[in-house]
Structure 1
Amino acid sequence: MTKVLIVDDDQQIADLIEFYLKNEGYITDKAIDGMAAYQLLQHTTPDLIILDIMMPNMDGLEFCKRVREDSQLPILMVSAKVADMEIIGLMTGADDYMIKPFNPLE
């Protein structure tokens, strides 16, 4: 089964993403910020990371940089912040980018 790590400080968003993924048969883990997610990666290896950008402790951009130092796990960034964040996110190593709010069926 495919395992997805959801990293978002907005509990409602994380729960919604988890709900839809579990309904499709995915296994999920959640972390509230980049630091918690990075620690979780020391014990588990997901098949995909869904990553918010704006979070406390360690934001998504820093987390993505750290993951890319020793892994090529697929990373999908999601954020309400637009402008140049899509470009910056992709430059830090994300594989794709989605802007909030989004339709879970996307």
Structure 2
Amino acid sequence: MLNQLRPVLVHRDKIGYFAARNFRVLSECLTEYDAFRNSLIEKYGEETKDDKGRPIIGVKVDSPNFQKFCDELAPFNEMEHEVELMIAKYTDAIGCLSGEEILGLDWMLED
């Protein structure tokens, strides 16, 4: 959901407002999950270089530690909790969003 909101954060209209607020709420809800996931990346990851040659730590799919990483993270991926999101009307999206953006944000839109 966060990745679907990113492209519309630049909007200076109702959709941008809804996107910014929902982005903040979702980001806050993911704080503990991100911390846990990052600790597993530190635990099972290997140092590589990004496209600018800077060192980064990541868990590659072909790593022998990848399955351990996935196994430890799996219970947290399945957790659900209620999040109070702002819902916009489809009519608010007309003229503001492309069809592709509307499909991506369908969870945030209602009739």
Q: Is the pair's TM-score, using the shorter chain for normalization, greater than 0.5?
A: no
TM-score w.r.t. length of structure 1: 0.22
- Ranked by relative contact order (alpha carbons within 8 Å, sequence separation 6 or more), the top structure is 2
TM-score w.r.t. length of structure 2: 0.21
Q: Which has the higher helix share?
A: 2
In our comparison, the structure showing a higher alpha carbon Rg is 2
